[in-house]
Amino acid sequence: MGWRSMFSILRRNSLVPLLLWVQVALACAILSNVVFLAAQKLEPMLAPSGMSTRHLILASQIHSQGRAWTQGEVRGATRMLREVPGVKAVSVAMGVPLTQDIIFDLALEGSTGAKVGVNAYAGKGLVDTLGLKLVAGRDFRPSEYRATGIGGNFKTAKQPVRPIIITQALADALFGGKAVGKLAHNPEVRVHQDYRVVGVVRHLLRNQLNLANDGRSDDSVLLPDYVKSSTLLDFAIRVAPGTPSGVLKQIRKVIHDQFGPLMGPDAKAVVNFYDVLRARAFESQRDALWMFAGIALTVLIVTLVGIIGLTGFWVQKRTRQIGIRRALGARRGDILRYFMAENAMIVGAGAVFGMLLAYVGNHMLMQYYELHALPKSFLPTGAIAMLVLGQLAALGPALRASRVPPVVATRSV
Amino acid sequence: MRYNFELALRGLRRFPKSSVLVVLTVALGLAACMTTLTLLHVLSADPLPGRSQDLYLAWVNTLTSKPSTSHSLNGVHPVDYRTIKLPDAEAMLGAHKAVQQTALADMTAVVSNEDGTRKQENQTLLATTSSFMPMFGVTLRHGRDWSAAEGKAREHVAVIDTHLARQLFGTTQAVGRSIRIRKTLFRVVGVSEAYSPQPHFYDLADWTFSTGPEFHESVFLPYTSALDAGLGPDYDQYCDDASHKQFMEGFEKFGERHCDWLSYWVRLDTPHQVAAFRAWLDDYAEQRQALQGIHRAVHARLFSIPQWLTVQRVVPDSVRLNAWMAASFLLLCMANVAGLLTARFLRRSGEIGIRRALGAPRRAIFVQHVAEAAAVCVLGGVLALPLTLLGLWILRLQQHGDSSLARLDPAMFGFLFALALVVGILVGLVPAWRASRVEPGLQVKSA
């Protein structure tokens, strides 16, 4: 049987294949969008942090009421934290990974002309405390640090060119590879500020996790700022391997004793190991992933049931025709191949329309909601899933059809 | 009709396996749709039924600094709650150009009884004017609200809610007692019923939806005496002569006269009043701008509540997107069921042929099969109810914010069955049409 007869059969009995086609198109459109949304949620979870996270403790939401913490208070607390047994390094910071209490929002433009929005972390010795891997250049020199803080009373020295440490991903985006010694500037602010790249780290996860997708997870930089006086500050603390977990209690006590009195009744510092904070930071992402997995699975099952049901009926309806063809010399394999090919054709047509539907639907929703554009690479995911599913669903009915004995043709005509 | 119904039931029982499949599929589609729609329905409900259509937020653009409204590459953009400075609020209150008007701001404080033996931390206070309660429909259980004269005289009076009254005084009969806020004693003149409209539209800075008991105002007091007691707003937006340094300390540094911190609400009953007030507001803002030597393209804005909720994106996009996704899933389920029903109806071609041959018109066959489809889908709707409740329970388990509010109300319950019926009829149309086309002669011959 050639393609032409297949078409003519489809044309004459168009309702059943049409219903199948609609189903496949809808399922395909939903699936590629769901897979894309899930990938968006998954990307920040899979992104490398760039840090040595096993013995890292982060403290955040240390927020004073009334006045900023003085340089003396910040220094005193840092010293006391260093004295806790097992603590190897302490950095006072403005912004630490996984927390969004302080977001340094910066834009950079380098020699390639690409403008990239980045998150910055500031604090003395962050490269060591976070355990970042320098792949080129060097860490900041002590003389390069300048005072920073929110609401503190101090003057910041003007630096026409500020040293900066960027990630490898940023080096590629801003300079097309080698970055050390090169200049970038902020295209968004009116005051011109240049940044000279002094070092490149392999990875560093940004703290705006909602933006850590589309390959933007490594869009973060380090600035040579030390926290002098501030109403809001964070700590990064590295402890020695093998330190008992009781160290967390001691660190919490130091932070509570040193900062508690000014923090107000309802403010609460968040102090915990990186891994615990990570699990918490990705909680909503994980929930969303489960939901998407559930949707995808349900869509697949519903479609599978639908295809099996329709194909089964259609085969049954043509039992006599199959018998005639078998009597006329068609082999079992021919019948099997015919039904599988027919299924592939209907499902394939549905999948093509489904891809179009997915694309159009995504773009229509984008007009009204904050939604990323569905990349074309995601379109075939639904289509391939549908083709495989269709073949699986058709296998049973097709095998049944191939077992129809030729003698059926002679009955009850 | 009864005959059709009987035939439908018989049909259901004839193919139990495919009936179960159809019912399950419909139930899944309906439940997904209902779960997401219920959340959307809860989040986009009218916060003050009966009153909200007459309330408007008025904003005048009189800051001498230009607040940045830029949208950075990182998507960081300053939220603008359209608050105004105290001098403007007082001038507008004094002008009395609307039916009713009030200015308000949330503040946070520790509230205790007279001698400080009972204390409630982290209470939200609404600093406002005497018009707030009648405008926004706060019900009093005991006593009265304060008068405009008391507000003007900066008297230390307050209305507390029954919950706080019980916590501080052990009884709701707290009129005549006093509460202490910082160092000031406020006389309790009234006790109000708990008040927390969803969303908290009149001041979105502190919270949007009350997802816990801590999200409500327990004290209402005149803004004049709140300022006298040394209280300040929880959030101020921008201040005159703003620079980066004012971040987090604007109000303390610049004070109530130079920072935007009051939300200004008016009641306007007719379109004519709205137009007149809008014109007056624009004029007022233009004059103020001229006086301060600033020029802005936009002088003032007047937002109705629906406009305000849209501008502030009160209902998260993700909730609407999920509803779209669920709707397309329902569509898939409908296509699926249409297919299953076509298969089932055509399997009885013989029977249909006999009915046709015995004189049943096409219409009767059509109606019979649509009825059967509707019956199956309503059955699916019944099964969708527990599935929807399960879905909502799962939503509530995800303890991030708004989804904890998702509950099925009677309106949505009714909607579920209406939707099931409509889905059933729509889904039945094509298969029933196909069944009604069955030729009598052909079928009788081969049966």
In A191-347, DSSP assigns E strands to: 194-201, 220-223, 225-227, 232-239, 270-273
H helices present in B159-270, as ranges: 162-169, 223-228, 250-254
Give the pLDDT confidence score for residue B384 in this predicted structure: 93
What residues of B are in contact with residue A67 (Cβ under 8 Å)? none
Secondary structure class of A149 (helix, strand, coil): coil
pLDDT in tens, B319-350: 899 899 999 999 999 999 999 999 888 888 88
- The more confidently predicted of residues B236 and B340 is B340
pLDDT in tens, B341-380: 998 888 888 888 888 888 888 898 899 899 989 999 999 9
Give the pLDDT confidence score for residue B344 in this predicted structure: 87
Secondary structure class of A288 (helix, strand, coil): helix
Query: Which among A27, A119, A188 is the nearest to B332, CB-wise?
Result: A27
Pair B126, B272 in one domain: yes
Give the pLDDT confidence score for residue B105 in this predicted structure: 95
Task: Tell me the β-bridge partners of B304.
Answer: B56
Pair B346, B398 in one domain: yes
Pair B106, B28 in one domain: no
Residue B173, amino acid: Q
Cα separation, A312 vs B116, whole angstroms: 79
Pairing of strands A161-167, A194-201: parallel
Q: State the average pLDDT over residues A202-210.
A: 93
Give the pLDDT confidence score for residue B29 in this predicted structure: 93
Q: State the average pLDDT over residues B278-306.
A: 91
Q: Which residue of A has its CA nearest to B319?
A: A369
Cα separation, A165 vs A198, whole angstroms: 6
Give yes or no for B72 touching A (CB within 8 A).
yes
- How many folded domains does chain B comprise? 2
pLDDT(B402) > 80: no
Give the pLDDT confidence score for residue B359 in this predicted structure: 86
Q: Which of B311, B344, B379 represents a domain boundary (last residue)?
A: B311
Contact between A198 and A135 (Cβ < 8 Å): no
Q: Do B76 and A105 touch (CB under 8 A)?
A: yes
Give the pLDDT confidence score for residue A413 in this predicted structure: 42
Q: How many residues does chain A have?
A: 413
| Helix, strand, coil % in chain B, rounded to nearest 5 | 50, 15, 35
Task: Tell me the β-bridge partners of B57.
Answer: B265, B303
Q: How many residues does chain B have?
A: 447
* Residue among B74, B239, B392 with most chain A CBs within 10 A, to mutate: B74
Size of interface A-B (CB pairs under 8 A): 127
- A73-82, B51-60, B91-100, B206-215: lowest mean pLDDT where? B206-215
Query: How many whole angstroms from its chain centre is CA B294?
Result: 37
Task: Identify the H or E element spanning A104.
Answer: strand A104-109
pLDDT in tens, A245-300: 889 999 999 999 999 888 866 668 999 999 999 999 998 889 889 989 999 999 99
- A7-16, A165-174, B73-82, B427-436: lowest mean pLDDT where? A7-16
Contact between B342 and A309 (Cβ < 8 Å): no
Give yes or no for B117 touching A (CB within 8 A).
no
Confidence tier at A198 by pLDDT (50, 70, 90): very high
Residue A193, amino acid: Q
Give yes or no for B291 touching A (CB within 8 A).
no
pLDDT(B95) > 70: yes
Confidence tier at A372 by pLDDT (50, 70, 90): confident
Closest to B179 (Cα-Cα) out of B128, B221, B239, B134? B221
Cα separation, A112 vs A109, whole angstroms: 8
pLDDT(B447) > 50: no
Q: State the average pLDDT over residues B392-403.
A: 76
* Residue among B324, B336, B340 with most chain A CBs within 10 A, to mutate: B336
Confidence tier at A315 by pLDDT (50, 70, 90): confident
Spatial CB neighbours of B212, under 8 Å, sequence gap ≥ 6: none
Q: State the average pLDDT over residues B426-439.
A: 89
Confidence tier at B399 by pLDDT (50, 70, 90): low
Give the pLDDT confidence score for residue A369 in this predicted structure: 83
Contact between B132 and B148 (Cβ < 8 Å): no
Pair B178, B106 in one domain: yes
* DSSP 8-class letter at A70: P
Give yes or no for B338 touching A (CB within 8 A).
yes
pLDDT(B113) > 50: yes
Contact between B106 and B234 (Cβ < 8 Å): yes
- A24-28, B21-25, B435-439: lowest mean pLDDT where? B435-439
pLDDT(A9) > 80: no
pLDDT(B245) > 50: no
Pair B196, B332 in one domain: no
Cα separation, B143 vs B174, whole angstroms: 9
Q: State the average pLDDT over residues B16-26.
A: 87
Give the pLDDT confidence score for residue A320 in this predicted structure: 82
In A144-269, DSSP assigns E strands to: 146-148, 161-167, 183-185, 194-201, 220-223, 225-227, 232-239
Cα separation, B367 vs B361, whole angstroms: 10
Q: State the average pLDDT over residues B56-62.
A: 93
CA distances from B273 to B55, B101, B263 (A): 12, 13, 20
* Residue among A22, A100, A209 with most chain B CBs within 10 A, to mutate: A22
- A67-71, A134-138, A237-241, B333-337: lowest mean pLDDT where? A67-71
Query: How many whole angstroms from its chain centre is CA B51?
Result: 14
| Residue tagged 């890292």 (tokens) | A56
Cα separation, A77 vs A404, whole angstroms: 85
- The more confidently predicted of residues A123 and B316 is A123
Computed over every residue of chain A, the mean pLDDT equals: 89
Pairing of strands A225-227, A146-148: parallel
Give the pLDDT confidence score for residue B68 in this predicted structure: 60
Contact between B81 and B104 (Cβ < 8 Å): no
pLDDT(B246) > 50: no
Residue B426, amino acid: L
- The more confidently predicted of residues A65 and B414 is B414
Query: Which among B29, B121, B317 is the nearest to A370, CB-wise?
Result: B317
Task: Tell me the β-bridge partners of A199.
Answer: A137, A165
- φ, ψ for residue A233 (rounded to 5)? -150, 160
Q: Which of B282, B311, B340 represents a domain boundary (last residue)?
A: B311
pLDDT(B244) > 50: no
pLDDT(B400) > 70: no
Cα separation, A22 vs A347, whole angstroms: 9
pLDDT in tens, A227-245: 988 888 999 999 999 888 8
Spatial CB neighbours of A18, under 8 Å, sequence gap ≥ 6: none
Pair B280, B320 in one domain: no
What residues of A are in contact with residue B248 (Cβ under 8 Å)? 150-151, 231-232
Q: Which residue of A has its CA nearest to B76?
A: A105
Q: Do A306 and B336 touch (CB under 8 A)?
A: yes
Give the pLDDT confidence score for residue B67 in this predicted structure: 63
Give yes or no for B48 touching A (CB within 8 A).
no
pLDDT(A56) > 70: yes
Query: Which among B74, B108, B338 is the nearest to A105, CB-wise?
Result: B74
Q: State the average pLDDT over residues B382-406.
A: 82
Pair B38, B62 in one domain: no
Give yes or no for B410 touching A (CB within 8 A).
no
Q: State the average pLDDT over residues B166-191.
A: 93
Read off the tokens for B248. Answer: 């987090």
Domain boundary assignment for chain A: 3-45+284-410, 66-262
Pair B221, B345 in one domain: no
Q: Kindly state the percentage of chain B with pLDDT values over 70.
A: 93
* DSSP 8-class letter at A376: G
Query: Which among B121, B248, B331 is the nearest to A266, CB-wise?
Result: B121
Give the pLDDT confidence score for residue B121 in this predicted structure: 83
To the nearest whole angstrom, how far is the Cα of B344 from the nearest Cα of chain A?
Answer: 8
Spatial CB neighbours of A8, under 8 Å, sequence gap ≥ 6: none
Pair B251, B344 in one domain: no
Q: Do A19 and B338 touch (CB under 8 A)?
A: yes
Pair B57, B161 in one domain: yes
Range of the domain at B59: 52-311
- A329-343, B85-99, B210-224, B231-245: lowest mean pLDDT where? B231-245
Prediction ipTM score: 0.84
pLDDT(B287) > 80: yes
To the nearest whole angstrom, how far is the Cα of B204 from the nearest Cα of chain A?
Answer: 19
What is the pTM for the complete model shown? 0.85
Cα separation, B5 vs B349, whole angstroms: 19
Q: Do B332 and A33 touch (CB under 8 A)?
A: no
Pair B146, B226 in one domain: yes
* Residue among A26, A216, A362 with most chain B CBs within 10 A, to mutate: A26
Cα separation, A180 vs A174, whole angstroms: 11
Residue A259, exposed/middle/buried by CB under 10 A (0-12, 13-18, 19+)? buried
Give yes or no for B115 touching A (CB within 8 A).
no
Q: Which of B262, B277, B311 represents a domain boundary (last residue)?
A: B311
Give yes or no for B336 touching A (CB within 8 A).
yes
Residue B25, exposed/middle/buried by CB under 10 A (0-12, 13-18, 19+)? buried
Q: Do B75 and A361 touch (CB under 8 A)?
A: no
Pair B131, B186 in one domain: yes
To the nearest whole angstrom, how far is the Cα of A126 from the nearest Cα of chain B?
Answer: 23
Residue A128, amino acid: D
